[in-house]
Amino acid sequence: MEEEKNPKKPLIFYYIISLIAILLLNAIVVPAVMRKRVTEVDYGQFLNAIERGRVRRVEVDETQTHILFVAEDEAGTEKVYTTAAMNDPDLVNRLYNSSTNISFTRVVPKQNSPLLSLLLTWIIPILIFWGLGQLLARQLQNRMGNVMAFGKSNAKIYVEEAQVGKTFADVAGQDEAKEALTEIVDFLHDPEKYTAIGATLPKGALLVGPPGTGKTLLAQAVAGEAKVPFFSISGSEFVEMFVGMGAAKVRDLFKQANEKAPCIVFIDEIDTIGKKRGDGAFGGHDEREQTLNQLLTEMDGFDARKGVVILAATNRPESLDKALLRPGRFDRRIPVELPDLNGREAILKVHAKKVKLEGDIDFTAIARATAGASGADLANIVNEAALRAVRENRTAVSQRDLEESIEVIVAGYERKNAAISPKEKEIIAYHEIGHALVAAKQTESAPVHKITIVPRTSGALGYTMQVDVDERNLMSKEEAFSRIATLTGGRAAEQLIFNSITTGAANDIEQATRIARAMVTRFGMSDVFGMTALETVTNQYLGGDTSLACSAETAAKIDEEVIGLIKSAHERAISILKDNMDKLHELAQYLLDKETISGEEFMEILNR
């Protein structure tokens, strides 16, 4: 894709230096070159040339220290020579008595043609220094951020549909977002039917969602569908070291957009410049706040009837200034959430078109195993599957490649040469079977899909994978408690079999604690606190950090409630394993032999 770039003006400093250098060249270097055209000889050679009748013209300089003369060489060609003037009283007689008619005139070295002299002394040096100036200016601009382009926006401009290269056909799993944006595309195609009834195009649409869900792709698809110019810029590109430069870039961006209307302006990561005002280190004089104020002014100032649409993307909507979100600026807030089961399947099929596949690919099974994955995650899974096929010298991607790539994304690559002692390997096998057995014996738990004790590069020495049959959007209290019990099953197996515990349950403990705390503080699943919100969630799209919103006494009671939940779940896990001790031993030994077993193998042994 070719992009329109702002022209860069060379630095005048370098041209001044070039002019001075050219003048010095003409004043010093050129005369020196001309002097090299005169051959210096000794006085004896000069006298010899007179006696042999080869001297044609003679000149003594004003200081009478040098003699300049023209003489023929051995080939009969006239050349200019110079020699030191000696105290020779007979010199004049020798010159008069010479067989040749020697003339006493000014001797001028042979000159080049005027055109050649102009070329050598002016044009070529100017071109050389101009090129050096351009090179130095470009390097300086790259280092200092294009210092001669203050106030120019760095927006990438895609003018034609082919340059954008994206349409709604390239976007899968976001049907609701595409439907909300279709109206904008229709307005840009046929604005008359909207203006006839008095409707105006929404000035802006804010795309909100987790990272990797396709917000930028959606904006590009809107431009591709509407076949209008597309301006793309990141919020961080407005932030400058010099105060006022960010605001100047905003003005320049909207000026370009008005010139190319109808068009679409896309600002990625708008939270960089759109944060709530008043939090800056320098109050209202903060550069970021000036940039935001200019953005608010520009969005109010342009005419929506021209067809300039502002699209922006963020995964931190709670940090944006309220003035930016009011109607008349960003009129629409379009959620771009993580895809559901059908959406994941559609996304996998879109990305799978770029690779060669075997004929028996079950995309539904892959989509079911990737609950919570974003579009970017799914694209990475397909690419990892293709890389695995290449490593194994195959020409097409198989179902096994896709399944293995899921594990690579989740847990990392296999550490085939990891040194693990037989005793530790046995502990890991019982630990993983403890998870799987507790999960299988609870009705409110997802089926076991795979169990392995092969170490991974993420640090996991083994893991148990569970995959829900259907898409889950809600979790009941019983399901949450069963999940905690499953997480404690590994530690419970270690206690029962080895009468000891290891550090292998660290991640299980962390996850169990997080679920139990959420049950008490956020989901209202505690008999003590009931439906009371005791915790607030910030940055829901960036990990969901939480903070308690209660007194210290209540926080202590929350800790007691969480500890009680985990203890109850742990006791349930121990009870299940005690009741199925024979199967625990049998499955653990089978896993030790095979290292990796499927959910079908596990259930066949369990139900045997």
Residue 449, SS3 per DSSP: strand
Q: Phi/psi at 335 (nearest 5 deg)?
A: -70, 135
CA distance linking residue 80 with residue 9, whole number of Å: 49
Given 384, 432, 494, 561, the catalytic residue: 432
State the pLDDT at residue 329: 84
Single out the residue of 362, 433, 374 nearest to residue 605, CA to CA. Answer: 433
Q: Is the pLDDT of residue 445 over 60?
A: yes
Residue 320: is its pLDDT beyond 80? yes
How far is 318 from 237, CA to CA, in rounded Å? 21
Q: Is the pLDDT of residue 127 over 60?
A: yes
Q: Are 244 and 288 in contact (CB under 8 A)?
A: no
DSSP string, 115-163: HHHHIIIIIHHHHHHHHHHHHHHHHHHHHHT-GGGTT----EEE-SHHH
Q: Which of 143-147, 374-378, 500-504, 547-551 has the lowest mean pLDDT?
A: 143-147
Q: Is the pLDDT of residue 508 over 90?
A: yes
Please report the sign of the dihedral spanned by the C-alpha atoms of residue 482, residue 487, residue 488, residue 493.
positive
Task: Report all structural domains of the chain as residue ranges with CATH numbers, in order of start.
Answer: 12-29+114-149 (no CATH), 38-96 (3.30.720.210), 156-335 (3.40.50.300), 341-411 (1.10.8.60), 422-606 (1.20.58.760)
Which residues make beta-bridge pairs with 231?
157, 265
pLDDT digits (tens, 9 = 90+) for 381-439: 999 999 999 998 998 999 999 988 888 887 777 777 777 888 999 999 999 999 999 99
Give CA–CA dist 219/181, Å, rounded: 9
pTM exceeding the 0.75 threshold for the entire prediction: no
pLDDT per residue over 73-87, tens digit each?
A: 776 677 777 777 777
Q: Does 324 have pLDDT greater than 80?
A: yes
- Residue 15's pLDDT band, with cuts at 50, 70 and 90, is low
Note the pLDDT of residue 260. 82
What whole-number distance in Å separates Cα of residue 271 and Cα of residue 324? 10
Taking the C-alpha atoms of residue 56 and residue 579, their distance in angstroms, rounded to an integer, is 128
Helices marked H in 174-333? 175-189, 192-195, 215-226, 245-259, 287-301, 322-325
Over residues 169-184, mean pLDDT: 85
CB atoms within 10 A of CB 360: 7
Buried b (16+ CB within 10 A) or exposed e, 526-546: beebeeeebbeeeeebeeeeb
Predicted confidence band at 58 (pLDDT cuts at 50, 70, 90)? confident
Q: Taking 80 as the threshold, does the pLDDT of residue 98 lie above it?
A: no
Residue 154 pLDDT exceeds 60:
no
Q: What is the DSSP string of 413-429?
A: SB-TT----HHHHHHHH
Active site residue 432: yes
Which burial class, exposed, middle or buried, applies to 384 when counting CB atoms under 10 A from its CB (0-12, 13-18, 19+)?
buried
For the record, the structure tokens of 115 come out as 């055109």
Q: Using a pLDDT cut of 70, give the percent of the chain over it.
A: 80
The pLDDT of residue 240: 64
Residue 523, Cα to own-chain centre: how many angstroms? 37
More confident residue, 498 or 226: 498
Region 322-341: mean pLDDT is 87
**Rounded Cα distance, 53 and 50, in Å:** 5
Buried b (16+ CB within 10 A) or exposed e, 77-116: eeebbbbebeeeeebeeebeebeeebeeeebeeeeeeeee
Question: Where is mean pLDDT largest: 88-97, 192-201, 306-315?
Answer: 306-315
Q: Give the SS3 label for residue 312.
A: strand
Residue 258's pLDDT band (cuts 50, 70, 90): confident
Q: Note the pLDDT of residue 382.
A: 92
The pLDDT, as a whole number, for residue 284 is 45
Tell me which range, 181-190, 454-463, 576-585, is most confidently predicted by mean pLDDT: 576-585
